[in-house]
Structure 1
């Protein structure tokens, strides 16, 4: 029972991945409905979901998916065209399949989808009917290849709820086929265990499908089975050498040895009969070789190519998270060992400490690398969002994406999805004008939203840019005063006024819609970004468009930091933001909070003053020059200790809202150090001292 449930869970995970790829392919087809490669990709995804669903007991998923698969089979063979109607119906069908996989109720009109799909079938035959196949020839399809497949399932196959007959039926649907069952391993009846799978198969398949498509049929049983797939011929380069004798085929399949074959060849009987009588192979094995010989001879195909096999492993996210936690604890323990070793005069202990430090660094980098995923998987889902919302609002909008290969921590990507969805919805609803308005303003009636990602130091910079109406800062100020968010006489720059849209309860929408305009949301977006230790900024030109920039750290688990000290308190600065360290010797003539850095005046923030740390600052202080939102800003401290590999620990709820602090870490001696949020610290530098003191 446990094994059956494990296989069903594996099917669900694989189906979710296929449905994601399916949505991307359908949206890609909208721009080029004649792309045969993408059409085949859609058909293959549907075919795999249908076959695997039937195999693991998801009959409702299999039967519904069969409806879509049948229509796309007509499309890929050129009998019908791919239209926007077909794509819209398939997207609705995809949503319904997703709901069934997740065990949720779907509001999709299932009957309407099925009727619409059947209406696109010009043959008007029951979709359950299996068309009679004509013998395949190279004249019909020059891409035909003949495959030799040997499938030997494990004895305990039935215990997982798998029916091998379903696998073979799905395989046979791919083309001309011959299936030979081998029974020689079945014992006498008194010794027979009916729960054991004791048979195995040879299948000779002639199809235009690829090895990957064949292997997909066995995707959920391949790991436990003995499966070999080998191409034994194709329509390309026909010659006489493609014809093989039965003995050659049996030797190639390792059914007999070459020496045994040569010994039997000395006899004058037919080779198949001789081998069978000698007990070297069974009659069914000889039959399988004969079928292969005849099939290859019929197509006159060339020699075989070895099957390529790729292996991967699917690991639950919880195990990966637990591994990262363990690596974090190891990094903390290694820091303690390094500190202890530095205090001793034992050279051997220091050498061991350095070796463990090197190994823990490599383990940390590799473990975090496993969690890094390209953000393109998130970007691809947004194309469907833009498509559906633009149609609902009667707008014409194109989404362009760049930097899909930019990698982020898996946890960051998951938590970043909702904020990006809300920002895109606002760009679609509030940013892009209707086609009529755009034409009246001399613009292209088709609006454009650009979504990009790129690495920027130890962060990822994500930009959402639209060419819509832009945001008027004067209108924002007026709305903020109207809602009581700011006073009427509050001095404020245009840049600060634009940031008011992230204030709780702020909205410029004249009416509430299903898309946005309820007066909530943008403040939640900012809170979610802040929770990721990120920053959000906004730039806009009225009449030309808006750009929203989001900066997010690469990972939330472990960072390289620079340890600094003020009195007895230690702090960690993200090393990716640090540019250099300089000395500061204060005199009464110096301008406050400015240092001369090679002729350039750089402002700095005093950590002692802003955090209200008591004591007298040393005559010579250290200023750590950091990059904050593209500008150089200094942080004045008593002394710089050095680099520190930092395992980030979240602060409790009581301390979450303290400005300038993003987390904490444990040092090598067991004491705690606070991790500084450089951007927030610099922004707080202009606030009144009472509001900057750490509680």
Structure 2
């Protein structure tokens, strides 16, 4: 029973997330019957399953909300902002009840009473014994999804159908829009060619259609052709059966094309039923139509069985983490195996190593993809945040999203939640102006916050953009000078000035609010992003708005990298940042005259000599190499002794003793057992820029 209870909790949390997004969408589209039905089904499922597994308090409370949405579903009540607000509060209360059942914390019973009273007042049923689910709800309550039914449709147009302006083919195309559909022309009424009237229609159609829209949707297609078209509709598969379908002879007898005695005679002759039916006088098109019907229903049932057998299973997150860790260890062992095969120079051994490498690569990709989730589930949570916070601050704000289907590692999504919440709160509080201020400035009263995600190589770029007041460049600079973060006469770029807001305790707010203004948060946001090996940038225009861009690796476990050698040591650079590699002979180095700039294909690019940067001893080779990386639209070269090649890198943390080391983001174990450091290129470039400034 404990297993089932835990399964109910997990499913209920998923349903509550779906309920929140559906309610926020319903507030924008209050007439959408599908959204109303979705909310009702979620409530009904939570209530029914809760009663089954002993969550009687949740079942009773949810019953009240379900009752109200049953009235909405039956057209007895309209969706209002107040109803959405109360239902969102009910959703939060159900979540609190679930948490209380798991951790034993008490639930605020007064909040439940307040919500129920509010719902009853809205529905006009203030008495305690208000009926729960109406007859209509009881009739539909068991349905979770509409059932696909297969119909046999005989469409027989009258000969003069063209004179009415009706095209039978257009009707057939409308049927195809309802679901999988196959039509077979029946040519039995076509006369000899010298008797054909070109303005008459002699063709009928046998149609097999599978749809979940119901028989009335089929009749609606022919609503304007009832007088010029004979229509016969039969249900041949109600969606409950599986396996094959009726035999060909049974279909022909059922349709009246073949007599039962004739069928028995055909079966006794041991020939193919279709051939013998034609010999008995059955029209060939009728046989073809029966075959099409048989194959169509069989195919739909097989598809249904595949979908049922492909049901997903729940796996605890810690088991997935363990799987990814084991795959990471396997990648390390596979690298040792490959290196041993190369050293032995045994063709058979090398062939086995290559096969193991291929299989390990596929296993790695599958294991990482299992943990990938669309970031849209996180986006939907923020709609509630924007709605509640804008109401609290007296602002009118709309949140729009793009790229909700962009996938990220589950661990990364969880760790991104708090930084994104803080950035959104800042955009709403500091960025978007009050409606009166916006109107006075010639802007729409309603502000917009746009949250977007898109893939960029092996990373994802998240952006939060608002059309608010923008950042005050001079105010930020003055505050940074006041706090001693920068000299008063320092010449800083706009990007560097905006970067000052990430300093601990930095704030330009004139007063502290319940939302922000204490200078706590942006430094934590930056540390959280950098802990994920990501970067964050700010671009703002005064009076136009602010854009915050976050670049995050797809997965924190395994990355593709470029291995280089410097001073006898091997280092790894994230391959996603590498643009190209060029030779750097001694002559070119001398022509630089001490300036760290090199001409690459007619373009001057700054470079960083990593050997000097890390203080590595030893003689520099006569021909070094420059790895050119691209970050934030800027190209920078890294001078190394030579490039070894690509490498699958399993990231290992360096431990707390090295947490303050700048320029190194982690380490990995190589095939020969040696440890190679993973360079943090943004930190290296930033530290060089700071020293130069």
TM-score (structure 1 length as normaliser):
0.75
1:681 counterpart = 2:688: no
SS of residue matched to 1:42: helix
1:117 corresponds in structure 2 to 119
1:470 corresponds in structure 2 to 470
Cα distance between partner residues in 2 of 1:664 and 1:670 = 12
2:171 corresponds in structure 1 to none
Q: What 5-or-longer segments of structure 2 have no aligned partner?
A: 149-210, 220-230, 251-296
User: Is residue 648–residue 664 contact of structure 1 (8 Å, CA) maintained in 2?
Assistant: yes
1:76 corresponds in structure 2 to 73
For residues 643-684 of structure 1, what are the alpha-carbon distances to aligned partners after superposition, in whole Å with 9 as ceiling and x for unaligned? Answer: 111000112112122222111000000010011122222222
1:420 corresponds in structure 2 to 420
Cα distance between partner residues in 1 of 2:28 and 2:475 = 38
Shift of 1:490: 3.4
Shift of 1:127: 6.0
SS of residue matched to 1:442: coil
Cα distance between partner residues in 2 of 1:112 and 1:130 = 18
Closer, same or farther: CA 121–634 of 1 in aligned 2, 3 Å: same
Shift of 1:440: 1.3
Q: What 5-or-longer segments of structure 1 have no aligned partner?
A: 135-171, 177-204, 213-229, 259-302
Closer, same or farther: CA 321–209 of 1 in aligned 2, 3 Å: closer
Cα distance between partner residues in 2 of 1:129 and 1:70 = 8
User: Is residue 70–residue 133 contact of structure 2 (8 Å, CA) maintained in 1?
Assistant: no
Cα distance between partner residues in 1 of 2:455 and 2:132 = 52
Instruction: Pick the aligned partner of 1:593 from 591, 596, 604.
Output: 596
Cα distance between partner residues in 1 of 2:624 and 2:335 = 26
SS of residue matched to 1:10: helix
1:25 counterpart = 2:28: no
SS of residue matched to 1:405: coil
1:323 counterpart = 2:328: no
1:655 corresponds in structure 2 to 658
Cα distance between partner residues in 1 of 2:417 and 2:134 = 47
1:91 counterpart = 2:95: no
Cα distance between partner residues in 1 of 2:15 and 2:490 = 54
1:605 corresponds in structure 2 to 608
User: Is residue 402–residue 451 contact of structure 1 (8 Å, CA) maintained in 2?
Assistant: yes
User: Is residue 455–residue 461 contact of structure 1 (8 Å, CA) maintained in 2?
Assistant: yes
Shift of 1:250: 14
Shift of 1:486: 3.1
Shift of 1:483: 2.8
Cα distance between partner residues in 1 of 2:596 and 2:496 = 23
User: Is residue 5–residue 53 contact of structure 2 (8 Å, CA) maintained in 1?
Assistant: yes
Closer, same or farther: CA 472–366 of 1 in aligned 2, 3 Å: same
2:131 corresponds in structure 1 to 129
SS of residue matched to 2:619: coil
2:138 corresponds in structure 1 to 173
Shift of 1:398: 0.7
1:50 corresponds in structure 2 to 47
Instruction: Pick the aligned partner of 2:668 from 639, 642, 665.
Output: 665
Shift of 1:125: 6.2
User: Is residue 70–residue 127 contact of structure 1 (8 Å, CA) maintained in 2?
Assistant: no
Cα distance between partner residues in 2 of 1:394 and 1:240 = 57
SS of residue matched to 1:625: strand
SS of residue matched to 2:123: coil
2:279 corresponds in structure 1 to none
Cα distance between partner residues in 2 of 1:469 and 1:105 = 43
Instruction: Pick the aligned partner of 2:146 from 210, 215, 220.
Output: 210
Instruction: Pick the aligned partner of 2:63 from 62, 66, 73.
Output: 66
User: Is residue 458–residue 577 contact of structure 1 (8 Å, CA) maintained in 2?
Assistant: no
Cα distance between partner residues in 2 of 1:79 and 1:252 = 44
Closer, same or farther: CA 463–90 of 1 in aligned 2, 3 Å: same
Closer, same or farther: CA 687–476 of 1 in aligned 2, 3 Å: closer
Cα distance between partner residues in 2 of 1:37 and 1:415 = 33
2:584 corresponds in structure 1 to 584
SS of residue matched to 2:591: coil
Cα distance between partner residues in 2 of 1:579 and 1:468 = 36
Shift of 1:586: 3.2
SS of residue matched to 2:526: helix
2:383 corresponds in structure 1 to 383
SS of residue matched to 1:685: helix
Cα distance between partner residues in 1 of 2:689 and 2:471 = 26
Cα distance between partner residues in 2 of 1:14 and 1:601 = 58
1:460 counterpart = 2:460: yes
Task: Give the length in aligned residue pairs.
Answer: 553
What are the residue-to-residue correspondences of 1:91-240 with 2, within 5 Å? 91-103=88-100, 109-122=111-124, 129=131, 133=135, 173-175=138-140, 210-211=146-147
Cα distance between partner residues in 2 of 1:55 and 1:121 = 27
Cα distance between partner residues in 2 of 1:338 and 1:174 = 65
Closer, same or farther: CA 122–548 of 1 in aligned 2, 3 Å: same
Shift of 1:388: 0.4
RMSD (Å), alpha carbons: 2.9
User: Is residue 117–residue 126 contact of structure 2 (8 Å, CA) maintained in 1?
Assistant: no
Shift of 1:210: 2.0
Cα distance between partner residues in 1 of 2:681 and 2:97 = 46
Shift of 1:211: 4.1
